[in-house]
Amino acid sequence: MRFIVSTSILLKQLQAISGASSSSTVLPILENFLFEIKDNVLTISATDLQTSMVTSLPIEAKEEGRVAMPAKILIETLKTLADQPVAFSVDMQTLAIEISAGDGKYKLSGENADDFPKIPVVDNASSVNIPASVLAEAINKTIFAVSNDELRPAMAGVLVQLGEQSTTFVATDAHKLVRYRRTDINAERPTSLILPKKALSLLKSALPTEDVGVTVEYNSTNAFFKFNNIHLICRLVDERYPDYEAVIPQVNPNKLTLDRHTFLNSLRRVVIFANKTTHQVRLKISGSELNISAEDLDFSNEAHERLSCQFEGDDMEIGFNAKFLVEMLTNLDSEEVVLEMSTPNRAGLLLPAISEEHEDILMLVMPVMLNSMS
């Protein structure tokens, strides 16, 4: 099996899918890319059994064939080569691979392609089309709130509720929750899927900057994403997602409106002086003034800042983990944000003061108990 390809083109394709390969000690074949040539098209696959990525590119090839090649050494070699045509020749009996580029020759051994896991194919799938920019936005707005708790697998992914009028993306780790709704994505048949975090991270980095359409196909076990010449296939999280609507407080008479950047920068400074395990900050609101404070009694550190704000409701004090607030404010885009609260022991809701067209975003953060502070 012989073929010629440009180093830069091949490297770009390999880097786009390399995140799906696995450094598995149990199944060493997963540390390889599967190369397949048919009708002058080279198809390359990578998988860790849960998530697979496939890319294809036109090449010059006399013969057809398939072989598994070690991913790491291949990428490292291509990175150091100048942009030039590179020739691969594979002895299909011994699986010895020879790479020739310019004046260099490099030899490595391949693996039997038949040992490479089968990449799932689309069966009985429904589909929806989503612009790449919208999908990237939905991932960015939710992925930071996904749980890392292995004991709660349902929360280790993003819930996607496809509906006839809108589509909702939800992520929570029990301390914070994000509900991101788009009115410009709709499906003929309503359904829910839980997409795993790793697949979404890979998707996020592979999505093109130019706005192409992404075809999303899904059945009861897998989701398939197709854009440009890349396919990403992931196994869905087969769990029941918690009833997230039940934890969103409906009546929040206390509404605090603030400039997002001012609030964010203030929290970033004050949290430096907070306890290193709880990251607790205290928000004390009276009239049109917000006092943000933190202290770390172990080191006698404390910080206080005063911000002007708009506030409707009764004066109150409430404690939050500043790390969560910082993450949420970083992932909102609006100039001003509204923090809606009911009582100091109920969740607070962080919302943009003005929503973008077609999107509705709500972020929820659980309060922390305040220790009595002078």
Per-residue pLDDT of 12-28, as tens digits, reads: 999 999 999 988 778 89
Indicate yes or no: pTM above 0.85. yes
User: Using an 8 Å Cβ cutoff, are 253 and 294 in contact?
Assistant: no
Same topology between domain 2-115 and domain 248-368 = yes
Percent of the chain scored above 90 by pLDDT?
90
Burial label, 154 (beta-carbon count in 10 A; 0-12, 13-18, 19+) = middle
CA distance 206 to 200: 10
Does residue 307 surpass a pLDDT of 80? yes
pLDDT category at 122 given cuts 50, 70, 90 is: confident
Give me the pLDDT at residue 260, please: 97
Specify the pairing of strand 316-321 against strand 367-368.
Answer: antiparallel
pLDDT category at 234 given cuts 50, 70, 90 is: very high
CA distance 44 to 241: 34
pLDDT category at 370 given cuts 50, 70, 90 is: confident
What confidence tens digit (pLDDT) does each residue in 177-191 have? 999 999 999 998 999
Q: What is the mean pLDDT of residues 315-336?
A: 96
Domain 2-115 has CATH 3.10.150.10: yes
Which of 45, 37, 46 has the alpha carbon at shortest distance from 88? 37
Number of Cβ within 10 Å of residue 49's Cβ equals: 12
Question: What residues does each domain of the chain span?
Answer: 2-115, 126-245, 248-368
126-245 fold: DNA Polymerase III; Chain A, domain 2 (3.10.150)
Does residue 282 surpass a pLDDT of 90? yes
Give me the pLDDT at residue 355, please: 87
Q: Is 9 helix (H, G, I), strand (E, B) or coil?
A: helix
The CATH-assigned architecture of domain 248-368 is: Roll (3.10)
Percent of the chain scored above 70 by pLDDT?
99
Rounded CA Rg of the chain: 25
CA distances from 100 to 48, 60, 64, 92, 257 (A): 29, 15, 19, 17, 63
For the chain, give the mean pLDDT: 94
CA distance 367 to 74: 49
